A = this chain, B = another copy of it.
Amino acid sequence: MALSRTRIARPVRPPRPAGEKGPQLQAAKAAQTRARLIEATVRCLVKYGYANTTTPKVAEEAGLSRGAMMHHFENGTSLIKSTIAELHEKRLRAFRRAADKPVHEVTDLVETYWRQLQKPAFIAFHELAVAARTDTELASILKPLQDEFSEKFNAQAEQLFPEWAAAPANFALAMTLSQTILEGMAISLQTGAMDEGKVEPMLRHLEGQIAALAPAAPAAVQAAAKPQRMPRRKSS
């Protein structure tokens, strides 16, 4: 899509003359259409990759004309920006949801994050991240969100497992280790650099590692031998 060079946005006329009894039904429909377009963008990112995610493809995927699409997002950059924001919030939401679940063992974080990485949102995000390497505009949008995610990821874990506060170095290492291994595996699977069969042992090993790094590790090593209870299925 190539995020065109920055343009001077012409003055947007006030979307509502006065904020009083404004229309509701139409606004709802517009929001719905915008959401449909954003979802279509994510699907396109997964199907075609960032490079081939063009405005016509997205419009077709959303079942709209390109003209209609440009009505909701005045240019491709705008659409990408909104899509990134949506993906970001979806990641955060998924994490918050996971934190509400009652059972919290050390290894739950691994399982939860691994499941996250199987979903299309991560593929789309990685497409964007790779493109951002050579696209400064895209990078400037993505970078702060990546940092925020990392921060919240750690905060979440820190809050969930307060006992780690005693060993901040180990905690940081465990976090980095988890993110690196899980994301690395997810990418390797996608790009065909890794065999599917190697996933299970790696997950088990990582869980063992985290347990071993835990400060007051009670029967830590045993955790690695725990029967796996996770139905791992590929998300479509």
Please give the residue numbers on chain A whose beta carbons come within 8 Å of chain B beta carbons, in ascending order: 2, 47-52, 126-127, 129-135, 139, 142-143, 146, 150, 169, 172-173, 176-177, 179-181, 183-185, 187-188, 190-194, 198, 200-202, 204-205, 208-209, 211-213, 220-221, 224-226, 228-231, 233
Contact = CB atoms under 8 A, between A and B. Distances in A.
Nearest to A222: B228
A221 B226 contact: yes
A60 B10 CA distance: 35
A221 B225 contact: yes
Contacts of A205: 173, 177, 228, 230
B177 A180 contact: no
Contacts of A2: 51-52
Contacts of A212: 224-226, 228
Contacts of A47: 134
A130 B132 contact: no
29 contacts: A2-B52, A49-B130, A49-B134, A49-B135, A51-B131, A126-B130, A127-B130, A129-B192, A150-B193, A172-B198, A176-B194, A176-B198, A176-B202, A177-B202, A180-B181, A180-B188, A180-B194, A180-B202, A184-B185, A184-B188, A200-B231, A201-B233, A208-B225, A211-B225, A212-B224, A212-B225, A213-B225, A224-B228, A225-B228
A28 to B, nearest CB: 34
A105 to B, nearest CB: 17
A201 B228 contact: no
Contacts of A132: 191-192
Contacts of A230: 201, 204-205
A111 to B, nearest CB: 17
Contacts of A201: 169, 172-173, 176, 230-231, 233
A48 B134 CA distance: 5
Contacts of A146: 191-193
Contacts of A231: 200-201, 204
Nearest to A220: B225
Nearest to A123: B133
Contacts of A221: 225-226, 228
